[in-house]
Chains A and B, each alone.
Chain A
Amino acid sequence: MAFQYRLGIDIGGTFTDATLINELTGEIQVGKVSSTPSDPSLGFLEAVHRMLQKSKINPEKVGYIVHGTTVATNSIIEGEIARTGFVTTDGFRDMLEIARQVRPSLYDLQFEKPKPLVPRYLCFGVPERLDATGQVLTPLDEDALRKAAMSMRCEKVESIAVCFLHSYINPEHEKRAGQILAEAFPDAMISLSAEVAPEFREYLRASTTVINACIRPVVARYLQSIVDRLTAEGLKGELLVMQSSGGVLTFSAASEKPVFLIESGPAAGVISSTYLGGVLGYQDVISFDMGGTTAKVGLVQDGTPQVTKDYEVGATAQAGIGRSRGAGYPIRTPVIDLVEIGAGGGSIAWVDSGGVLRVGRQSAGADPGPACYGKGGKEPTITDANLVLGRLNPSYFLGGEIQLDIEAAHRAIKNRCADALKLDVVQAAHGIVEIANSAMVNALRLVSVQRGYDPREFVLMGFGGAGPVHANRLAAEMQIPITIIPMSPGTTSAMGLLVTDLKHDYSTTMIAQIHTVNPNTLDQSFSNLETQGRASLAREGVKEEQMRFVRQADVRYVGQSYELTIPLPSHELDTTEISKALENFHREHDRTYGYSAPQEPVELVNLRLSAIGQITKPHLHKLDNKNNEIGDAKKATRSVYFSESDGFVECPIYDRYHLGSGHNVKGPAVVEEIDSTTVIHPGYYALVDEFGNLMIAAHKNT
């Protein structure tokens, strides 16, 4: 029987989303169940169940089940990790304890350093030493290593991380250590730094390897339990797992290198933006995903999401923007670069001791939720403010599942904000929304302007339950010309799971001045990575013609410490190609940092290869053109507050499900659907495209 469906399951903090796509028709169905944090696989199965029931399809027709999971991240944050041992070069066993030697908060006298994931008595220094060129200074002391293995065995260690100094350039000692440990202690899972993240800077490499080791048994058990249950349900499709850099891993690859899954949940939204943008002909997209607790912003350029290698697991965002260093556990595996700020529908507004209105960092969560949920919440939130401003429909929130209490929203804003500020409730509500918007604008600037991208050359993709309420306003502030609101924005993120390819990322350190590198040597190194990638993809059943290999290099001026990642052609390199890449680097440097120094020597640092196994993408479903009039979609009018109009304006309210291709919704207007509400400001209009996307732009003559 031919596979016809692809199923995506995205487990979030509150809900588990299921998305089913019919590959023949492109038809998408979505569903939601409550998450089951104590055993996420229960929620997973429940979501699968419901989706199969609802769609009445034969489970055997599901070809792939793609999973986005926070199990890897959560196990670190909650400390539910395997008992792990750490083996390193003698003299350096405190690498994890010392970390970066800095405080995560500067003026807090009660600060704590993150607790090392491996207790000190399970950290072992073994005599061996390489120099910076990979030459052996001290041979590996195999007996000392066997002794360490015995100690770990006695201590009932489940998983072992090995990271020797300079192993990125010469992995022989690590490989030998891997063999010895496997012989001496066959039950342990072993992660070698030269395999997990073979890049220089020992603490970052060790930390990445240790995280991999700590979560490996946990993730492997979890994924195995899912596979077992899926099989029992009659699902024969392959389980694929979303990675933090976009792309999916097979179940077995994910079980071996779970560190690649850290932060895989939020990545899906950016992948969706990339895909939707691509289908609509936009290669440069800013992805804006606003949910209940946070807003996440990412940037896609030339159809490729921006990726960072400077990420810390478990680091809570500080006030303002950006992550503090030293607050979490760093990883060097690629993570889609997101700026996440505490501005979601449930973010709480308050007045500080200096008499200033603030929004976040506290969130009302799902329980009690915003005051207007009527579940006892007393704190005013962004959702309450939007309700007071008429932007949300009290009787059509989540399609009417929750009846919003506008009086409660009023009361909360009055008691907690308006009175203290001597403002009326509407002014205070508008203040709350605008302050949240300003924080989001700063996040948008951080991913675009700050990195040298001009937002006027991008489109804004607004989604998540709350995203479409704010997107138009943010685009106006940022002068982004077009805002796209996809159909059912609440599930856009989950759809990212269904449109991504199989992907393996490889890297190797090669430090050399670029003009001294022989193109053949470079080619050879890439070919070696490619061989590994080809083998992995072939094992996973990918046909040669579906394979794609993307080459990149981390490059910097000699003496710098931060590299820029520059794409290289995927075919054989010659000196002309290298000169082109070099020019590209100078240009990127100028764009990113505002200057370049073409006379300065440039060096290669790391080579990166992505091995991609392309899978068929679903088609977007086109709207049935019912030839109806836009008037048929208008379901009511409501008073909505706009500062541009200095007050409340009577606005048409449209039912999104009745809008047809080519309809032009003139702002001010509100478009409602079950999982979100789109606000179109005065001076703007939204054009409905053939897929039902709302394309918001400014009127030419205003």
Chain B
Amino acid sequence: MNPVDPIKFEVIRNALIAATEEMAIALRRSAYSTNIKTRSDFSCAIFDRHLRTVAQAFTQPAHLGSLVQLVPKAITVYGKQNIHPGDALLINDPYQGGVHLNDISLISPVYLNDDIFGYVASVAHHVDVGGGAPASVGAFREVYQEGIIIPPIKLVSRGEIVDDVFRLILGQIRSKRETAGDFRAQIASNNTGARRLVDLAERMGADAVDSYTCELVDYTNRRTRAEVSKLPKGVFTSKGQVDNDGFTTDPVGLQATITIDNDGVLFDLSGCDPQRRAPVNSTYSQTFAACAYVYKCLMDPDVPVNSGFYQSLRITAPEGTVVNCRTPAPVVGGWETAMRLIEVMFNALAKGLPDRIPAGCKGTICHAGFGGHDPVKQEYFCYLETVAGGYGGRASSDGPDAIQPHMQNTENAPIEETEINYPLQIKCYELIEDSEGAGRFRGGLGLRRDYLFPHTAVSFTVLADRDRWGPGGLFGGLAGRKASYLLKSQGKTTDLGSKTTVQLQPGDIISFRTCGGGGHGPPVERDPQLVLRDVQEGKISAERARTEYKVAIETQNWFVQQDETHKLRMEPTGS
């Protein structure tokens, strides 16, 4: 290749990123299901003709890592020779590079003068893919119970939707109208990306785009390695667990050994439990996404994400474990495991990077899925959302309250919009006082969200975690309050655990109480003025301020009682 022209390089790089952002806008705006249009549960990416990712739109980190695994596998399985201009492949098969069944990807080859020039792909979490419970979340024994499994197949052939295939897929799905709209939105998104890629090739020359994307990958690899060189070298280990698997109370053991050396970072997950006949198995793609997320958090945010970024990332995840499951293990809760794996990896890294790593966060996707027959609209409705929780305290700041952590960054759906579209009422949506893990910098507060179904019998699924142990603290900080998922029916309250489907009667209420984040540093070292602010704001009770933070607060005129606080803080601990 000729010497790099820095101008062309930057022009092409920006144009590729802009194209993925255009794809994301097209998908979000024309989608039908709340989960995609409002909550942004989707991602988009562009690949070169060697199936290397060259640009990604920043929406859900979970999808980004997994698309990188999925797209090359799907194209290889289907065979390049069987693809034609105007085709688009649909896939969600967890055992051919996919993740859980709800995340369906659409991959479109992009042609230039009869040759494949690259690929564009979008992945979106579809509200329902069939299976044993509405919204396709729930605890089952095999992947076959979880919904429709789609190996790479053509949804679009030479520019036309393959009607038989489309109808066959919709035939398995509860939310037909929404899902049909969402598929059309994915097609629109891919068409947008493909158009931009062709435009770029025509404007800059196909050879130039080709050679500059190679340079872009090399450049990213260089920058990633430069970032790795700044990290502390060593081997960092930690253990953790998913609290239960949905069928037994036996915690699912996770272990990460992270080696940072001059070649990059190795995530060794050999110590994780064997896979379960329960919904807590993560496919390799999901585990890869978790590791890629952690890796990216260690870098300067300016480092691009493309194939060059992943080159120095190494993973050991033995087959047959909960972090690289084999068929027919169920996978719907794979993101729960991948999410907790991130917590374990961060906990390990905290030893090497004490100033950068937060204490334990929500660490669960925390799905609420429900559906049933809508008596007014006379159709089957399905709904899925995920609820935020507390973030962990950091070395120099509190963990934010009520926020989506890690690979997950899905928005909440407006209550008014939800109540217009579905036969329910949200009874309350608020922070939970005293749910934070105490610390020098405290964890964020968890959330309470109550769902009432006044007139309708529905099937409701909780697929979450953290119902036995709250997120851990770091460096003397305390754990956040654990989560609970409650059913209130006819005056009785039942604790549902974290992975179950229940049949609700009209008038029943489900109450989600998500966990608070863990604290960072000993609570007695917290600035009493910050404790005062929290008590005044009603985030922490005066009593808890006294017992956990050893701060005495006068709640009439709002000040810290200095002498009393001094005395409390001088008392030997454990007394």
A132 touching B416 in the complex, CB below 8 Å, given contacts A92-B429, A325-B411, A356-B219: yes
A100 touching B10 in the complex, CB below 8 Å, given contacts A109-B356, A121-B537, A595-B188: no
A562 touches B7 (CB 8 A): no
Of the residues B25, B33, B415, contact of A202 by C-beta under 8 Å: B415
Tell whether B277 is near chain A: CB-to-CB under 8 Å.
Answer: no
Tell whether B22 is near chain A: CB-to-CB under 8 Å.
Answer: yes
A435 touching B219 in the complex, CB below 8 Å, given contacts A100-B412, A165-B415: no
A103 touches B414 (CB 8 A): no
Stretch at the interface among B294-302, B317-325, B473-481: B294-302
What per-residue 1/0 map shows which CB atoms of A559-585 lie under 8 Å from chain B? 111100000000000000000000000
A94 touching B7 in the complex, CB below 8 Å, given contacts A204-B414, A593-B30, A597-B184: no
Of the residues B223, B419, B428, B536, contact of A132 by C-beta under 8 Å: B419
Chain B residues with Cβ under 8 A from A106's Cβ? Answer: 58, 61, 409
A119 touches B537 (CB 8 A): yes
Which has the most chain A C-beta neighbours within 10 Å: B10, B26, B421? B10
Shortest distance in angstroms between B509's beta carbon and chain A's nearest beta carbon? 12
Tell whether A598 is near chain B: CB-to-CB under 8 Å.
Answer: no
Shortest distance in angstroms between B425's beta carbon and chain A's nearest beta carbon? 7
A121 touching B10 in the complex, CB below 8 Å, given contacts A110-B394, A320-B17, A354-B220: no
A131 touches B419 (CB 8 A): yes
In whole angstroms, how far apart are the Cα atoms of A435 and B187 in the complex? Answer: 32
B15 touches A109 (CB 8 A): no
Tell whether B11 is near chain A: CB-to-CB under 8 Å.
Answer: yes
B226 touches A353 (CB 8 A): yes
Shortest distance in angstroms between B401's beta carbon and chain A's nearest beta carbon? 6
Shortest distance in angstroms between B79's beta carbon and chain A's nearest beta carbon? 28
A435 touches B7 (CB 8 A): yes
A560 touching B181 in the complex, CB below 8 Å, given contacts A92-B430, A107-B299: yes
Chain A residues with Cβ under 8 A from B28's Cβ? Answer: 562
Tell whether B289 is near chain A: CB-to-CB under 8 Å.
Answer: no
In whole angstroms, how far apart are the Cα atoms of A439 and B13 in the complex? Answer: 11
Shortest distance in angstroms between B446's beta carbon and chain A's nearest beta carbon? 11
Minimal Cβ-Cβ distance residue in B for A91: B428
Number of A-B residue pairs, CB cutoff 8 Å, is 209
Tell whether A322 is near chain B: CB-to-CB under 8 Å.
Answer: yes
Chain A residues with Cβ under 8 A from B29's Cβ? Answer: 562, 592-593
Minimal Cβ-Cβ distance residue in A for B33: A559
Tell whether A357 is near chain B: CB-to-CB under 8 Å.
Answer: yes
B18 touches A321 (CB 8 A): yes
In whole angstroms, how far apart are the Cα atoms of A438 and B415 in the complex? Answer: 41
Shortest distance in angstroms between B378's beta carbon and chain A's nearest beta carbon? 14
A112 touches B397 (CB 8 A): yes
In whole angstroms, how far apart are the Cα atoms of A90 and B430 in the complex? Answer: 10
Tell whether B438 is near chain A: CB-to-CB under 8 Å.
Answer: no
B394 touches A439 (CB 8 A): no
Of the residues B9, B184, B421, B430, contact of A91 by C-beta under 8 Å: B430
Chain A residues with Cβ under 8 A from B30's Cβ? Answer: 560, 562, 589, 593, 595
B429 touches A102 (CB 8 A): no
Chain B residues with Cβ under 8 A from A325's Cβ? Answer: 40, 411
A91 touching B356 in the complex, CB below 8 Å, given contacts A109-B297, A356-B6, A559-B32: no
Shortest distance in angstroms between A454's beta carbon and chain B's nearest beta carbon? 12
Of the residues A107, A119, A358, A593, contact of B10 by C-beta under 8 Å: A358
A98 touches B17 (CB 8 A): no
Chain A residues with Cβ under 8 A from B429's Cβ? Answer: 91-92, 94-95, 98
Stretch at the interface among A53-61, A283-291, A442-450, A666-674: A442-450
In whole angstroms, how far apart are the Cα atoms of A166 and B293 in the complex? Answer: 39
Shortest distance in angstroms between A451's beta carbon and chain B's nearest beta carbon? 9
Of the residues B18, B223, B539, contact of A353 by C-beta under 8 Å: B223
Tell whether B106 is near chain A: CB-to-CB under 8 Å.
Answer: no
B400 touches A111 (CB 8 A): yes
Which has the most chain A C-beta neighbours within 10 Å: B9, B21, B420? B420
Tell whether B388 is near chain A: CB-to-CB under 8 Å.
Answer: yes
A101 touches B412 (CB 8 A): yes
A132 touches B430 (CB 8 A): no
A91 touches B427 (CB 8 A): yes
Chain A residues with Cβ under 8 A from B10's Cβ? Answer: 356-358, 435, 438
Tell whether B510 is near chain A: CB-to-CB under 8 Å.
Answer: no
A200 touches B414 (CB 8 A): yes
In whole angstroms, how far apart are the Cα atoms of A314 and B345 in the complex? Answer: 34
Minimal Cβ-Cβ distance residue in A for B419: A132
* Given A98-B431, A595-B187, A595-B188, 13 extra CB contacts under 8 A: A102-B409, A113-B401, A168-B416, A204-B414, A322-B25, A357-B6, A442-B15, A561-B37, A562-B28, A562-B30, A592-B29, A593-B188, A594-B188
A-B contact pairs, 29 of them (CB 8 A): A92-B415, A92-B429, A94-B402, A95-B429, A97-B401, A100-B411, A101-B412, A102-B410, A107-B299, A109-B297, A109-B394, A110-B396, A137-B425, A168-B416, A200-B414, A200-B416, A203-B414, A325-B411, A353-B300, A355-B219, A355-B222, A356-B10, A438-B14, A557-B181, A562-B29, A594-B188, A594-B191, A595-B30, A597-B181
List B residues at the A interface (Cβ < 8 Å).
6-7, 9-11, 14-15, 17-18, 21-22, 25-26, 28-34, 37-38, 40, 58, 61, 177-178, 181, 184-185, 187-188, 191-192, 219-220, 222-223, 226, 293, 296-297, 299-302, 356-358, 388, 394, 396-397, 400-405, 409-412, 414-417, 419-421, 425, 427-431, 447, 450, 536-539
